[in-house]
Amino acid sequence: MSMKNYEFWFVVGSQFLYGTEVLNTVAQRASEMADKLNQSGNLPCKLVYKATVKTHEEITKLMKEANYNDKCAGVVSWCHTFSPSKMWINGFDLLQKPYCHLATQYNREIPNDEIDMDFMNLNQAAHGDREHGFITARLRMRRKIIAGYWQDEETQKRLGSWMRAAYGAVFSKKVKVMRFGDNMREVAVTEGDKVEVQAKLGWQVNTWPVGELVKVMDEVTSSEIDALMAVYRTKYTFATDDLETVRYQARAEIAMRKMLDAEGCQAFSNTFQDLYGMKQLPGLATQNMMADGYGYGGEGDWKVSAMVAIMKAMSEGLNGGTSFMEDYTYHLAQGNEYSLGAHMLEVCPSLAADKPRIEVHHLGIGDREPPARLVFEGHEGPAIVVSLVDMGGRLRLICQDIECVKPIMDMPKLPVARVMWKPMPDMTTAIEAWITAGGAHHTVLSYDITAEQMKDWARLMDIEFVHINKDTTIDTLEHDLFLSDLAWKLK
């Protein structure tokens, strides 16, 4: 399912009016543009020039092929010349893949000495793209519009960034979540409509008994555990002599991987309230699996687990880090306010500033033996936190911009991984905005994925998107939420 195996189709609109020579030139240039865009290194997936389309039949056929081609993650269109848009209606109406309108132009500048009417007829994206844009607006298509010169790095990076969001949409349709036990008793925000998420997002969310996991754990051999311990030794610093406890985590990890892989699951959840037959809550085991791209949600939070898997998939090849996260406690010193994010164990080591340490400590929750876990500090840098909530009848994705810092204290008695950040726009407005929108305590924190990508992803999935950023005020947020509540009821 690697992102690299997917491609996007570059489709260029035209018509027969201009004659064969112009059409050949358009096709040649479109092919050259796809080649250069691929060579730029700014696109995570290959852009494949498919055709210069001139008729209703051609366009309809191509869009149908895009739908059924498993390698095709989306369509990028552009109009070098003028392409009357009524011929696109049926094709666009049928298109089920992510769609981007790249509004660009082959030449960067107007050639003062050479420009004549032949040049004008060949290079008319300025109005070709307007005709093209009207029909997608008229059809209320979910679309991404990127305007800019195609050889500019900024334009290429925006297209690449959208490709990651589009891949996230394709990935989402294949997500399977393995739930070990139900979600934590009485908790509201980790509930949700599993039928709705499958219809809307494609997720298959199902449960497996913890007893079955314990059975698979019992069958794990000591040589399998030896091999995983060797991996732990290369990746982490052992800050404990209690190797039996660490080996128990390895046993749990091997068993969970076996069960997830056998079912084709990319994400899982468990809860400290249902560890029947287990000696430790999986800590290190879960953390090391997240580092390899598996999604995870604590306390049975399958929504955040699937979102971790999706955002990790979208960030393939990047190295900033993406993890399950929880807003734990605040530092409210005036003018120096921070949120401290952590979990009882399970934060992904992809966030770590330095090599994580394996430690064993007592865990007051869950009534089990002290579990091994990775302890580290998150690194500094801009990031986002994302929460998907079920509003009853619809899903809302909330995204907040944050600025992570090196934790301002070393907190020597805190036995878990920790990340510290300033939420936007400022601490109190940020908290009020998050609570106003109904955001959960569990989030996905990512240094690699941007708010624009999550907005693109939400649009592709046809769910509500709320962005809390440096410009957010409570008045405008409340107004937006009020209007969007009405709009989503009508949808």
Interface positions with Mn ion (CB under 5 A)? 298-299, 326
Minimum distance from CB of 389 to Mn ion (Å)? Answer: 15
The smaller minimum CB distance to Mn ion, of residues 79 and 444, is found at 444
CB 237 within 8 A of CB 355: yes
The smaller minimum CB distance to Mn ion, of residues 74 and 298, is found at 298
CB 45 within 8 A of CB 7: yes
Minimum distance from CB of 184 to Mn ion (Å)? Answer: 8
Minimum distance from CB of 420 to Mn ion (Å)? Answer: 18
Question: By Cβ distance, which residue is nearest to Mn ion?
Answer: 298
Residue with tokens 């290079």: 123
Minimum distance from CB of 347 to Mn ion (Å)? Answer: 11
CB 310 within 8 A of CB 276: no
The smaller minimum CB distance to Mn ion, of residues 63 and 351, is found at 351
Minimum distance from CB of 180 to Mn ion (Å)? Answer: 15
Q: How far is CA 161 from the centre of its chain?
A: 11
The smaller minimum CB distance to Mn ion, of residues 97 and 303, is found at 303
The smaller minimum CB distance to Mn ion, of residues 73 and 189, is found at 189
Minimum distance from CB of 411 to Mn ion (Å)? Answer: 19
Minimum distance from CB of 414 to Mn ion (Å)? Answer: 16
Q: Measuring CA to CA, how many Å separate 34 from each of 67, 148, 340? A: 21, 15, 45
Minimum distance from CB of 298 to Mn ion (Å)? Answer: 4
Residues 6+ apart with CB under 8 A from 80: 12, 13, 14, 26, 29, 30, 52, 106, 122, 123, 124, 125, 128
The smaller minimum CB distance to Mn ion, of residues 309 and 460, is found at 309
Minimum distance from CB of 441 to Mn ion (Å)? Answer: 6
The smaller minimum CB distance to Mn ion, of residues 187 and 214, is found at 187
Give the span between the Cα atoms of 65 and 67, in whole angstroms: 5
Which structure tokens are listed for 390?
A: 């079920």
Nearest to 105 by CA among 152, 41, 144: 152
CB 294 within 8 A of CB 309: yes
Give the span between the Cα atoms of 164 and 153, in whole angstroms: 16
The smaller minimum CB distance to Mn ion, of residues 390 and 456, is found at 390
Give the span between the Cα atoms of 174 and 379, in whole angstroms: 31
Could you count the other beta carbons within 10 Å of the beta carbon of residue 55? Answer: 11
Give the span between the Cα atoms of 356 and 326, in whole angstroms: 19
Hey, is 98 helix, strand or coil?
A: coil
The smaller minimum CB distance to Mn ion, of residues 326 and 448, is found at 326
Q: Supply angle C-alpha 134, 135, 138, rounded to 5.
A: 85
